[in-house]
Structure 1
Amino acid sequence: MSSINTQPDEFNATVQGHRDGHGFLQRDDGEADVYLPSNEMRAVLHKDRVKARIVRHDRKGRPEGRVLEILERPPQPIIGRLLQESGIWLVAPEDKRYGQDVLIPKTGIGQAKPGQVVVVELTEPPALYGQPVGRVTEVLGEVDDPGMEIEIAVRKYGVPHEFSDAALAAAKALPDKVQAKDRRTRIDLRDVALVTIDGEDARDFDDAVYCEPARVGRGKGWRLLVAIADVSHYVKTGDAIDIDAYDRATSVYFPRRVIPMLPEKLSNGLCSLNPEVERLCMVCDMLVTTKGVVHAYQFYPAVMYSHARFTYTEVAAILSNTRGPEAARRKDRVADLLNLADVYRALLAERGERGAVDFETTETQIVCDDNGRIEKIVPRTRNEAHRVIEEAMLAANVCSADFILQGKQPGLYRVHEGPTVEKKEVLRAYLKAMGVGMTIGDEPKPSEFQAIAKATKDRPDAQQIHTMLLRSMQQAIYTPFNGGHFGLAYEAYTHFTSPIRRYPDLLVHRVIKAILLGSKYQLPALPTPGEAHAKLAKRLAQRVKAPTQKPMKVVASAVDMQAWEAAGLHCSANERRADEASRDVEAWLKCKYMREHLGEEFGGVVTACTTFGIFVTLDAMYVEGLVHITELGGEYFRFDEARQELRGERTGIRYAVGTRVRVQVSRVDLDGRKIDFRLVREGEELPVRPTREKAGRVPSAAAASGDADVRVPRPKRRKPESAADAAVSSSIQILKANVKKAAKSAKTNKSRKPRR
């Protein structure tokens, strides 16, 4: 690799391919992306790190770049289907951002068969006049095999999915149950009725809770115990299990499958707080006032015994009816659950006083059959039991952040900053355009957002307004610099409650233990260059700025803080990677599901507006698709950025976030993970206005380029053709073309003079 030094007019960037053949350069310096034309993309690959420069600007002033040098080509495998065309073997990448097929010599096929999904390693890079060449390193199977979409996603996003032999051996060597020697230095809580409350399909149990009335100061209140699995007792810094866990940084959740951060013996066994067995735990023991304020807290290692494994549905039923059948089966625990509900209401009231932002959003759950086919998509409802556990976990997380601050040791905080300057301006303009009558200040507080949400909750466009409030927020990250949590309105916040599935929580446990012992937790040396840590930390550092630093009296060297910052970046990057992989699989499954509903009509609501159309989420399916601007009517549509809506200039018809529409499923692109809808109107179709478009001009091209004003004719709606109809139609078209060709040829021959 060559030097990454650049001249003033040059910059370093990461190539982001596009399925249409062109690409973009994501600049390291945070400046706007630079367009890369298709001819420049021929010699580079998606995800390449390059040195480039700007060579021209288009009529809108947008820059176009040229690649000068390839700095780094990540050893990322390419996944695709093996095909044979005219005796030539090639692999068509599943990720269309790669843009080029990979040629495979006959010696590089191995045991793969045509049509199978394979993993390819490049042996020759692409060039301006040559395609990339590779060899098959792994055969995943047939494209329709159950779970194939997950196998593709874990490799496509580089998710570690196999534990090292050393990690498996270390896990196997661990005991199957708590040892007597492990209890000696711990508080014995086995007689305390701690219980777990999780979903029906949960297999690992991070947390257990218990609550009882208590004297708090001179008043009444509760003693709330949150016991968290003590993963740090078994996973030591730098051992084989720890190395694998750090590389993964998080468990990844797919429909019907989980890729855990820890080996199963730990995640589902020794660390999991399973019912009626002894387990080691770290406890946050809190005294909470009737106003929901944590009056005092302490942390300590303990040994516990889970007295029951509850589900959210069961607890919600008990809390709503203490004389029902669920309560009768659990009569010994009903009083404890009522105490938990009481402390939850107090904590919830304090949340309101604090001004924390609380938007109700709809999450969905994909229900699959044994073959991996979607049976239905249902909303994941949050009942009172979910909120009880959520408030208890939030309280423990806040205490852990405060404990680390008081201990003056570095650690990882969960930081969520307020809106950026750009997002503040967009939100202000939107609120003004919608006539809300309220806005946010230059230094907005969470209470301002909550006040706007509360004031507009009864408006017809409430969902639209709340969506815009939510979109103005930034993503939360892990960092050693405490910047507070804007959304939750906490001055300091961290993650303590899920060490089985999140590596930052494991680090927080280690820091808390070090403070309790009067020592200091030292992060291990950074991995060698080329490992996942260094790569992902570097990539995220290019996109995420460190939050505003608040004064901290931390006893740590600059080297230590750099190590913690790198760890935070690594964990944040892997969190994003896990989310992207999960969304990719869900999108594939939804596309596969919607292929069975081509031509059907559904009601839905607009969830986003762009210059090229509207995105609609179906009521019954909870699936999102695009209604392209060419389907909205035969007139100019102007995109109003302030109102986030498309408006027809002739009819005045508007499509905004929250608008209800009826659509027909017109097209499903499984490879592109895209679903297209066609707008359905009541009554007769709008007449198509004559346009001055030249022959051959595609009206949607202007929309795709980002123009705000687009004139489009409304195409006639028709039912999707079946395969047989399409074949007949194609035959007729070919026959017509041949007849015309023959007639033209005859006319030409008749007028041609004979040769001499």
Structure 2
Amino acid sequence: MNKEQLEKRKKLIAELILENEFYVPMKTKEIAILLQIPKSQRGELQEVLDSLVSDGTIGVSKKGKYGKPDNTAVVGIFTSTRRGFGFVTVDGWDEDIFIQESDTGGAFHMDKVKVTITHKKQGNKRCEGKIIGVLEHQLTELVGTFQKNRTYGFVVPDNGKIPVDIFVPQEKSMGAMNGHKVVVKITNYGSHGKNPEGQVIDIIGHINDPGTDVLSIVKAYDLPVEFPDAVMQYLKNIPDEVDEKEKAGRVDFRDVDTVTIDGEDAKDLDDAITLTANEKGYQLGVHIADVSHYVTENSILDKEAYKRGTSVYLVDRVIPMLPHKLSNGICSLNQGCDRLALSCIMDIDNKGNVVGHRICETLINVNRRMTYTNVKKILVDKETSVIEEYKELIPMFERMGELAAILRKKRFQRGSIDFDFPETKIILDKDGHPLEVKPYDRNVATKIIEEFMLIANETVAEDYFWQEIPFLYRSHENPDMEKIQKLSTFINNFGYSIHTGDEIHPKELQKLLEKIDGTDEENLIARLTLRSMKRAQYTTECVGHFGLAAKYYCHFTSPIRRYPDLQIHRIIKENLHGGLKQTRFKHYQNLLPEVAKHTSTTERRADDAERDTDKVKMVEYMEKHMGEEFDGVISGMTAWGMYVELPSTIEGMVSVTSLRDGYYIYDENHYEMVNETTGRTFKLGQKVTVKVVATNKILRTIDFELSEGEWENGRTKKRKPTDFQ
């Protein structure tokens, strides 16, 4: 087919698709028959169709049918990258749509866009698309570092996903100087070859001023810090101590030994424990602060708590969901104070089965405010002085250890998965500079509280599922089987296998983690297993929790810091006081889907902000260790480099351009970086020694290079170049 014939056919096909008002999208074969194209030329027809889709003349649906671009386009949120390309996330789609830089259509990061599919998903290659319209600019303000020129300035965004700087005219700079962290309002989103424009609306401080780094992240995520005056006024109606009238009608637990167990610096104590033994087993009381007694539905306090969704625990501060008068005061289960609680009292046999339970409004008074450290000293270290200090409670702590072990064993028998990756603990000086970064390991005390909270959450969720009352559940859906199949194929290289069918049972992944425990490949396979799983979220449907292997699960135990817990407390209390009438039943049916969606979003925002503040302090910490060498493990790979995690949990990147013995390519199927010429490989989970060569506080990045010893000792495996071809 010559060029003239090709253009003629393109025009004919485009007219067929675009001019027919009642056109129903057809597959390639149907178009070929309609145009009387012989079978021998249908390969050329496919090229024509691909060309029309690529230039946006027609569109192709997810199911592979062609039609008008508007008819086949889907709507989603565009996420850009510093390299120019991006992805569109569509509700209900398992995978994002890849957008090449030339196909972004001028869309800005977080824009709501209309996109057509240009290439369907094939094997490991993801679906590709072209943005044909920007429906809404959702990001209107951003935080960055101001760079001043003689007559104008630029703001370099802190968000590494935004590939362009924001141009700021001098008269709209508020007098910002070089190095100032600022909030800029976008006034023009720019176009190809032209930067977006904006005006500075807030100067946070200089990049080197104490606290500016974290405050910049707070502003970037639009985290509400100060409570509105109206909320503070409302607090005057809330007493400092529990009124005697409010104690009436509650189950009184004040004569039962009661403790809280938290970290040393915790101030919002929202759960307390009672535990007694009997012939049949144990009676465990999980007593949760009755926050909903003070934060009533639709009050100004409730609306502010809903807006925040969750407390945010940053490296140098806590941004609470509720004002301190509540979170550290009357709602906090402080030692020696009468407090209102909503309690789940469970009878548990010696095998860990909950054989009976009661959910009720209670009155408690905590005997001792315990710390994880001191409980460990009692149960593990057997420290005499601490045992003597709490001698009247020692039998209860020993029972706690026994029961937690029973519950943990039962949970693992059913297939619950435990990823024991350490969390990060960053110790700061008085000016907010990092003194130490280290892993925060769980001990026996943290595991005791973890097991007790889990069993309470499961018990409450199962109770309300069977009552068929509108409720909020904490759901963790089954993994995408395509990702599990990839994991299965990969672990076969190490001699491991998992049984897969239409779906996978969590016990299969748990057994895998047990098999790899202590092996060289443990880190590698554990990380890949975690990445194959979905993210937990709040839902109105009880779909279970895959990671916990639990049929029923909710968040009941932290209403001071999580709105979903506060929401279900209201439902529980309303149900306890005579049940939900039809109007209230419908009220919650209508309300809860939006609550689930909003609180899942605010939780993710909090997680991202917490991770970013940790990153910025890690970068600052590593600035003091420039040129030093550290042992680490390759924790991630991309085409442009390898991420290496140190024992302290700090992560940095070894750029592929720094690998000095030739050209390396990323072998995605084997999670390896392979030298094209020599066959030398670096793989996920491999131990390496690296040197710190650069840090960037603005981008929050740490650059490593492999140490001289890595090259001299030749620790990396070599294989024939043909092995990966």
> TM-score by structure 2 length?
0.83
Q: Deviations over 1:115-161 (max 9, x none)?
A: 32222223344245654333332221111122212211122122222
Quote the offset at 1:645 in angstroms. 2.6
Q: Is the 8 A contact 1:366 1:378 kept in 2?
A: yes
> Which residue does the alignment assign to 2:47?
none
Q: 2-side partners of 1:125 and 1:683: how far apart?
A: 47
Quote the offset at 1:638 in angstroms. 5.2
Q: Is the 8 A contact 1:322 1:334 kept in 2?
A: no
| 1:445 is aligned to 2:505 | yes
Quote the offset at 1:22 in angstroms. 4.4
Q: Deviations over 1:365-384 (max 9, x none)?
A: 11111111111111111111
> Which residue does the alignment assign to 2:77?
14
Q: 1-side partners of 2:121 and 2:261: how far apart?
A: 57
Unaligned 5+ runs, structure 1: 525-555, 688-707, 711-756
SS at match of 2:146: strand
Report how many aligned residue pairs link the two structures.
648
For 1:172, the aligned partner's letter is K
Quote the offset at 1:522 in angstroms. 9.2
Q: 1-side partners of 2:643 and 2:303: how far apart?
A: 42
SS at match of 1:599: coil
Q: How does 1:228-307 map to 2 (within 5 A)?
A: 228-307=288-367
Q: 2-side partners of 1:189 and 1:62: how far apart?
A: 58
Q: How does 1:357-368 map to 2 (within 5 A)?
A: 357-368=417-428
Q: 1-side partners of 2:165 and 2:685: how far apart?
A: 41
SS at match of 1:98: coil
> Which residue does the alignment assign to 1:494?
554
> Which residue does the alignment assign to 2:718?
none
Aligned partner (choices 131, 143, 156) of residue 220 of structure 2: 156
Q: Deviations over 1:588-638 (max 9, x none)?
A: 11112212222211111111233333211123x321111223334534545
Q: Is the 8 A contact 2:283 2:347 kept in 1?
A: yes
For 1:587, the aligned partner's letter is K
For 2:234, the aligned partner's letter is A
Aligned partner (choices 238, 259, 263) of residue 195 of structure 1: 259
Aligned partner (choices 126, 129, 135) of residue 199 of structure 2: 135
> Which residue does the alignment assign to 2:182?
118
SS at match of 2:605: helix
1:614–1:34 distance in 2 versus 1, CA, 3 Å: closer
> Which residue does the alignment assign to 1:676?
703
Q: Deviations over 1:567-596 (max 9, x none)?
A: 111111111111111111111111122122
> Which residue does the alignment assign to 1:606?
634
SS at match of 1:7: helix
Q: Is the 8 A contact 1:412 1:504 kept in 2?
A: yes
Q: Is the 8 A contact 2:689 2:710 kept in 1?
A: no
> Which residue does the alignment assign to 1:50?
113
Q: Is the 8 A contact 2:475 2:539 kept in 1?
A: yes
SS at match of 1:246: helix
Q: How does 1:651-730 map to 2 (within 5 A)?
A: 651-682=678-709
Q: Deviations over 1:405-431 (max 9, x none)?
A: 132201111111221121111111012
1:474–1:32 distance in 2 versus 1, CA, 3 Å: closer
SS at match of 1:485: coil
1:680–1:166 distance in 2 versus 1, CA, 3 Å: same
Q: Deviations over 1:210-237 (max 9, x none)?
A: 111124xxxx201111110000000011
SS at match of 2:70: coil
Quote the offset at 1:16 in angstroms. 1.8
> Which residue does the alignment assign to 1:628?
655
For 2:251, the aligned partner's letter is I
Quote the offset at 1:437 in angstroms. 4.5
1:25–1:36 distance in 2 versus 1, CA, 3 Å: farther
1:238–1:664 distance in 2 versus 1, CA, 3 Å: same
> TM-score by structure 1 length?
0.80
Q: 2-side partners of 1:84 and 1:113: how far apart?
A: 6
Q: 1-side partners of 2:571 and 2:405: how far apart?
A: 31
Aligned partner (choices 231, 239, 252) of residue 167 of structure 1: 231
Q: 2-side partners of 1:130 and 1:411: how far apart?
A: 50
Aligned partner (choices 169, 173, 178) of residue 242 of structure 2: 178
1:28–1:192 distance in 2 versus 1, CA, 3 Å: closer
> Which residue does the alignment assign to 2:274?
210
> Which residue does the alignment assign to 1:94?
158
Q: How does 1:381-420 map to 2 (within 5 A)?
A: 381-420=441-480
1:265–1:453 distance in 2 versus 1, CA, 3 Å: same
1:608–1:68 distance in 2 versus 1, CA, 3 Å: closer
Q: 1-side partners of 2:392 and 2:121: how far apart?
A: 73
SS at match of 1:507: helix
Q: 1-side partners of 2:92 and 2:340: how far apart?
A: 47
| 1:593 is aligned to 2:656 | no
Q: 2-side partners of 1:403 and 1:315: how far apart?
A: 31
1:511–1:147 distance in 2 versus 1, CA, 3 Å: same
| 1:472 is aligned to 2:532 | yes
1:127–1:425 distance in 2 versus 1, CA, 3 Å: same
Quote the offset at 1:281 in angstroms. 0.6
Q: 2-side partners of 1:69 and 1:329: how far apart?
A: 69
Q: Deviations over 1:292-337 (max 9, x none)?
A: 1111110111111111111001001111255611011111211221
Aligned partner (choices 80, 86, 89) of residue 26 of structure 1: 89
1:23–1:348 distance in 2 versus 1, CA, 3 Å: closer
Quote the offset at 1:501 in angstroms. 0.4
1:29–1:358 distance in 2 versus 1, CA, 3 Å: closer
Percent identity of paired positions between Structure 1 and Structure 2: 36
Q: Is the 8 A contact 1:414 1:477 kept in 2?
A: yes
SS at match of 1:333: helix
Quote the offset at 1:658 in angstroms. 2.2
> Which residue does the alignment assign to 2:492?
432
Q: Could you tell which deviates more after superposition, 566-575 or 322-331?
A: 322-331
1:408–1:332 distance in 2 versus 1, CA, 3 Å: same
| 1:568 is aligned to 2:631 | no
Q: Deviations over 1:344-384 (max 9, x none)?
A: 12212211322211232211211111111111111111111
> Which residue does the alignment assign to 1:617?
645
1:6–1:482 distance in 2 versus 1, CA, 3 Å: farther
Q: Is the 8 A contact 2:289 2:560 kept in 1?
A: yes
Quote the offset at 1:398 in angstroms. 0.8
Q: 1-side partners of 2:382 and 2:264: how far apart?
A: 21
> Which residue does the alignment assign to 1:516?
576
| 1:354 is aligned to 2:414 | yes
Q: 2-side partners of 1:458 and 1:685: how far apart?
A: 27
Q: How does 1:314-333 map to 2 (within 5 A)?
A: 314-322=374-382, 324-333=384-393
For 1:11, the aligned partner's letter is V
For 2:303, the aligned partner's letter is I
Quote the offset at 1:244 in angstroms. 0.8
For 1:267, the aligned partner's letter is S
Q: 2-side partners of 1:345 and 1:373: how far apart?
A: 39
Quote the offset at 1:172 in angstroms. 3.0
| 1:371 is aligned to 2:435 | no
Q: 1-side partners of 2:281 and 2:88: how far apart?
A: 57
Q: 1-side partners of 2:709 and 2:189: how far apart?
A: 54
> Which residue does the alignment assign to 1:715?
none
Q: 2-side partners of 1:444 and 1:81: how far apart?
A: 47
> Which residue does the alignment assign to 1:645?
672
Q: Is the 8 A contact 1:403 1:512 kept in 2?
A: no
Quote the offset at 1:648 in angstroms. 3.9
SS at match of 2:483: helix
CA RMSD of aligned residues (A): 2.9
Q: Deviations over 1:213-268 (max 9, x none)?
A: 124xxxx2011111100000000111111111111111111112011111111111
1:605–1:290 distance in 2 versus 1, CA, 3 Å: same
Q: Deviations over 1:668-699 (max 9, x none)?
A: 23222222211124387699xxxxxxxxxxxx
SS at match of 1:448: helix
Q: 1-side partners of 2:215 and 2:154: how far apart?
A: 20
